[in-house]
Homo-oligomer: A and B are copies of this chain.
Amino acid sequence: MAQNITTNPQSSNNNALANVSNNALERLIVLTQTDMEKVNSLIISRAHSHVDMVPELANYLIGSGGKRLRPMLTIACAKMFANPNENESNKSQYFAAAVEFMHNATLLHDDVVDESNMRRNKPAARIIWGNQASVLVGDFLLGQAFLMMVETKDIDALGILSKAATIIAEGEVFQLSKIKDLNTSAQEYDMVIRSKTGALFEAATKVGAMAGGADAASYEALGIYGLELGRAFQLSDDALDYGGAKGVFGKNTGDDLREGKMSLPIILLLENANDKEKALIVSALGNQDCDDLIVEKIIGLMKEKKILEQVMQQASNSVANAKKALEILPSGEIVDALFDIADFCLVREY
């Protein structure tokens, strides 16, 4: 079991932490490499279709440099238990590819819903092929994900992924229904992110544990690890949307604000704002034409009130929960990598 590192995103140890967690990502890549090569082949072959536009669009997104963290988690969780039957069925590879397809399907639909122009530093697929094709290719990928699961004949794992699909959609609708709703609570936000992001990370680790033949306690522990990791990722993403704790102002900074998305930074800021500040926030919220100067002013208020530090503290709490869940698992380099990778979501700056 890895030692219990205390994580504090505001500390001057941030650079050291970044090194540890980048290193953890590399270790996870090496540990899952052989399986991930097969997963990647599966991904390429299952994105194929006799309708040219399907693989064109799908490969543009899938090949656009995502870290494939979710399928790596599936593989890692399966390998942890070294089930001797695993080699024959290669179930975990099918599960991992299905998880990645589900992830990409939700990205395609999210970009349509959010009217996003960029994804992974490239124009979003919907900008090139249109919203219509993005919706439909998302549906195709979801169908293919379920087909791969069907091929494994594992009905329990299918249950996990179908349940995740509905929870993700519910979370997204909940978020949508709260757009520009000034009364959105931190608790409601938490329900949104546990659903829209946590659920797929949780499903990724759970189906991995299933494929590896984990006992019930380990299976539950890895589920908690996945959910808390996903929550930390989303909190960190939502802080980054306002420049992050370091205050780096990038080209997507303020997107959530302009979309009227009630993420934790804006909820906490509203709770701590006077009437004049509230009026400023309300003028920007959901206003696509909102000037960069206003966004910078609002980020200034967040800095003044240490809002993003509070958001990152919550992310830190989830990272600690994720690490704690790993304590009962069989020690080894996989668990060590999972332990260290939890810090990864606290130090991303992109």
Contacts and interface: CB of A to CB of B under 8 A. Distances in A.
A163 interface: yes
Interface string A217-237: 000000000000000000000
B153 A166 contact: no
Contacts of A137: 169, 173
B143 A150 contact: no
Contacts of A159: 147, 150
B142 A173 contact: no
Interface stretch (A10-18, A47-55, A65-73): A47-55
Contacts of A170: 49-51, 54, 140
Contacts of A54: 169-170, 173
Nearest to A114: B132
Contact-residue bracket for chain A: 35 or more
Contacts of A168: 139, 143
A146 B165 contact: yes
Contacts of A167: 143
Interface in A262-296: none
A35 B44 CA distance: 42
A136 interface: yes
A176 B53 contact: yes
A144 B163 CA distance: 8
Given A53-B176, A137-B173, A150 B162 contact: yes
24 contacts: A49-B170, A53-B173, A53-B176, A109-B139, A112-B131, A112-B132, A133-B173, A133-B176, A135-B135, A136-B172, A136-B176, A139-B142, A142-B165, A143-B162, A143-B166, A144-B166, A146-B162, A146-B165, A147-B162, A147-B166, A150-B158, A150-B159, A150-B162, A158-B158
Given A54-B169, A155-B158, 5 more contacts: A50-B170, A51-B177, A137-B169, A140-B169, A149-B162
